[in-house]
Amino acid sequence: MNELIQAVGILSAISAVLSLLMVIADRTIANYGEVTITINDEKKLTVQGGSTLLSTLMSEEIFIPSACGGRGSCGFCKVRVLEGAGDTLPTELPHLSEEERRNSIRLSCQLKIKKDMKIEIPEELFNVKQFRGVVARIRDLTYDIKEITIRLLEPAEISFKAGQYVQLETPEYELADEPVYRAYSVSSAPSRKDLVELEIRRVPNGICTTYVHDYLKEGAAVTLNGPYGEFFLRDSTRRIVFIAGGSGNAPIKSILSDMAEKKIGRKALYFFGARTTKDLFLQEEMKAFEGQLSDFTYIPALSEPAEEDNWGGETGLITDVIDRRLDMGEETEAYLCGSPGMIAACIKVLTAKGIPEERIYYDKFA
Amino acid sequence: MTFLGAFAVFFAAIFTNNILLTNYLGMCSFLSVSREVKTSVGLGAAVTFVMAFTSAINWAVYHYLLVPDLVYLRYIVFIVVIAAFVQIVEMIIERVSDVLYAALGIFLPLITVNCAILGVSLFMVIREYTFLQSFAFGLGSGLGWMLAIIAMAGIRRKIAKSPIPRGLEGAGITLIIAGIMAMAFVGFSGMITLG
């Protein structure tokens, strides 16, 4: 009996002493304290050191793309680390080219934060967030295009550049076995940080568009992430030509609202292509921009106006109308949004008019 | 005399009774980490450090806490002490060198079950070493293990450019080399012998 107590006592005492040592070690050796991460020379984060850069940024709601979940096998989570990192680790080497190593590119999932760090990430990623919101309004713009207004709840504000898009989540339903994301351009102005307005055209059997048109109701909860994309007004003094068809109006509307608010007076033309008057929408709003902007003309064009439409405006294929009406020359930027076929056809017309291809911007949502 | 004894034990542990090459303990990490000299030095240093201190700690624990009634607890106690010590060493390496930490990877926590380390503590009991001798034995065994793995890494660097019969590539040729190295180390055995 005595020996039993002795054995258990000794073993427990040894374990207790060792546990105590471990706790002390964890508090001292493994404690890296608070460190500051400076992102793009502007934003400073104060975080607890010791974790990987990827997971730390994620907990600060900065989403670096990562497909493998931080195992170091996908190589997506590259970040430029200017200060505060040691040598490149053997686990990173398979994913980094010679040039990337010279440019201090690191895999953020392998790199642990131990001291103050200076990093660079694309501005775009900086802003990408997951948003929860509620459908505030759904209205029919045409027989097949709906305008969805989403009021953001968590986070309550989004900052984006006019012309960028978000990805809307379609939850599981009849046509989707798992949540599906589809990209839609934001049509509301960036100044309205509390809401996101989308123009969504019904695509026959489209997973997301069917959900939006047939299932989504006002008051429903929605999830989206963003903003993404390089389709935004470039900062220059060049003249601008906008070309859109159907729901491709959305980013242009956002850009125009933004220009009106910022009083950007660049000469601008907006060609909007549709088949009949049934496909036209928001005509007053678009026309109203002519008053709000100093040098803006809205040119809707119908390819097949019906007899009863009494259409007095431009008629013909959008490419023909552009060919007829556009005379702005080389110093022009073009912003296109529509079907891939329309974009390809318009690029031809625009380059023939002397606009260099690198100044023709578009989002291709195939 | 005890000092001289400890010195003899120290040298014997490195050369004549090299724990890796005469007892063949600690083979797992010896085979896996000996691809590069740099990582071999790192792991060798970590093993040496752990061996020297765990043998000293275990000597004290054994002689002051376990002798005479509880010596049968030595396996579990030694293992727990080694595990805790390795954990602390791991934290230190992570703090000091990211590159070494990433290079050692899983082998660092695996030192916990490196049989050479438990072997050192058990030999120390069997051979009835004094405290000083135990520490010398631990330190010597660690340095001996390090010597062997660095030598192996050097040989493997040359071997990488040599034509090896296909069936012997990798672990096969490494084990044969380890055997030849062991025979070479036996050449020291006339110098000092351990009980």
The total number of structural domains that make up chain A: 3
- Show the domain range for A293: 239-362
Q: Kindly state whether B97 is in contact with chain A, defined as any CB-CB distance less than 8 angstroms.
A: yes
Q: Kindly state whether A48 is in contact with chain B, defined as any CB-CB distance less than 8 angstroms.
A: no
Helix (H, G, I), strand (E, B) or coil at A8: helix
On the question of pLDDT at B194 being above 70, the answer is no
pLDDT in tens, B63-77: 998 888 888 889 999
Residue A8 within a domain: no
Per-residue pLDDT, A366: 43
Residues in A touching B76 (Cβ below 8 Å) = 11
On the question of pLDDT at B1 being above 60, the answer is no
Per-residue pLDDT, B185: 84
Round to whole Å and give the CA distance between A228 and A196: 14
The residue behind tokens 């953001």 is A152
Q: Kindly state whether A283 is in contact with chain B, defined as any CB-CB distance less than 8 angstroms.
A: no
On the question of pLDDT at A258 being above 90, the answer is yes
pLDDT-derived band at A196, boundaries 50, 70, 90 = very high
pLDDT in tens, B154-177: 999 888 888 888 888 878 888 999
pLDDT in tens, A72-104: 777 778 899 998 888 888 888 888 999 999 899
Residues in A touching B92 (Cβ below 8 Å) = 29
Q: What is the dihedral of CA A153, A159, A163, A168, to 10 degrees?
A: -30
Per-residue pLDDT, A233: 92
Could you tell me if A68 and A150 lie in one domain?
no
On the question of pLDDT at B43 being above 90, the answer is no
Of A100, A125, A150, which marks where a domain is finished?
A125
On the question of pLDDT at A277 being above 50, the answer is yes
Question: Residue A89 belongs to a domain with what CATH number?
Answer: 3.10.20.30
Residue range A42-64: mean pLDDT, rounded? 85
Residue A323 within a domain: yes
Residue A9 within a domain: no
Per-residue pLDDT, B192: 66
Of A59, A92, A125, which marks where a domain is finished?
A125
Residue A265 within a domain: yes
User: Å from A97 to nearest chain B CA?
Assistant: 18
Round to whole Å and give the CA distance between B179 and A264: 81
Could you tell me if A143 and A115 lie in one domain?
no
Could you tell me if A146 and A97 lie in one domain?
no
Per-residue pLDDT, A289: 93
B70/A14 Cβ within 8 A: no
Could you tell me if A342 and A299 lie in one domain?
yes
Per-residue pLDDT, A136: 95
Residue B195 within a domain: no
Least Cα distance to B194 among B6, B9, B7 occurs for B9
Residue range A335-348: mean pLDDT, rounded? 91
ipTM higher than the 0.85 cut:
no
Could you tell me if A250 and A169 lie in one domain?
no
On the question of pLDDT at B148 being above 90, the answer is yes
Q: Kindly state whether A31 is in contact with chain B, defined as any CB-CB distance less than 8 angstroms.
A: no
Q: What is the DSSP string of A252-309?
A: HHHHHHHHHHHT----EEEEEEESSGGG---HHHHHHHHHHSTTEEEEEEESS--GGG
Could you tell me if A121 and A64 lie in one domain?
yes
Residue range A143-154: mean pLDDT, rounded? 94
Q: Kindly state whether A24 is in contact with chain B, defined as any CB-CB distance less than 8 angstroms.
A: no
- Show the domain range for B35: 15-156+165-190
Residue B53 within a domain: yes
Could you tell me if A301 and A271 lie in one domain?
yes
Residue B125 within a domain: yes
Residue B3 within a domain: no
Per-residue pLDDT, A281: 93
Residue B84 within a domain: yes
On the question of pLDDT at A30 being above 60, the answer is yes
Instruction: Report the range of poorest mean pLDDT among A122-131, A229-238, B159-168.
Output: A122-131
Mean of all residue pLDDT scores within chain B: 87
Could you tell me if A136 and A117 lie in one domain?
no
A91/B102 Cβ within 8 A: yes
Token reading at A219: 């008051």
A87/B98 Cβ within 8 A: yes
pLDDT-derived band at B3, boundaries 50, 70, 90 = low
On the question of pLDDT at B91 being above 70, the answer is yes
State residue A89 phi and psi, 5-degree precision.
-85, 150
Residue A4 within a domain: no
Round to whole Å and give the CA distance between A194 and A219: 16
Question: Residue A273 belongs to a domain with what CATH number?
Answer: 3.40.50.80
pLDDT in tens, B183-193: 888 887 777 66
Residue range A204-224: mean pLDDT, rounded? 91
Q: Kindly state whether A179 is in contact with chain B, defined as any CB-CB distance less than 8 angstroms.
A: no
Round to whole Å and give the CA distance between A127 and A193: 13
Could you tell me if A120 and A137 lie in one domain?
no
pLDDT top residue among A318 and A62:
A318
Per-residue pLDDT, A67: 52
Chain A and chain B share a number of CB contacts under 8 A equal to 60
Per-residue pLDDT, B126: 92
Could you tell me if A156 and A207 lie in one domain?
yes
Could you tell me if A110 and A139 lie in one domain?
no
Helix (H, G, I), strand (E, B) or coil at A312: coil
Per-residue pLDDT, B139: 95
Residue A346 within a domain: yes
Nearest CA in chain A to B103: A90
Per-residue pLDDT, B78: 93
User: Å from A89 to nearest chain B CA?
Assistant: 5
Residue range A248-275: mean pLDDT, rounded? 93
User: Å from B91 to nearest chain A CA?
Assistant: 6
Question: Residue A217 belongs to a domain with what CATH number?
Answer: 2.40.30.10
Residue B102 within a domain: yes
State residue A34 phi and psi, 5-degree precision.
-90, 135
pLDDT-derived band at B39, boundaries 50, 70, 90 = confident
Per-residue pLDDT, B69: 83
Percent of chain A with pLDDT over 90: 50
Residues in B touching A3 (Cβ below 8 Å) = 69-70
* Cβ atoms of residues A260 and A233 within 8 Å: no
Of A6, A18, A112, which is closest to B98 when you measure between CB atoms? A112
Residue A92 within a domain: yes
On the question of pLDDT at A294 being above 70, the answer is yes
Nearest CA in chain A to B105: A91
Of A105, A125, A145, which marks where a domain is finished?
A125
pTM above 0.90, yes or no: no
A89/B102 Cβ within 8 A: yes
User: Å from B189 to nearest chain A CA?
Assistant: 39
Residue range A179-196: mean pLDDT, rounded? 88
pLDDT-derived band at A364, boundaries 50, 70, 90 = low
The total number of structural domains that make up chain B: 1
C-alpha A118, offset from chain centre:
24
Residue B58 within a domain: yes
Per-residue pLDDT, A82: 92
Could you tell me if A212 and A248 lie in one domain?
no
Cβ-Cβ contacts under 8 Å for A168 (sequence gap 6 or more) = A181, A182, A183, A184, A198, A208, A212, A222, A223, A224
Q: Kindly state whether B91 is in contact with chain A, defined as any CB-CB distance less than 8 angstroms.
A: yes
Least Cα distance to A119 among A108, A135, A130, A134 occurs for A108
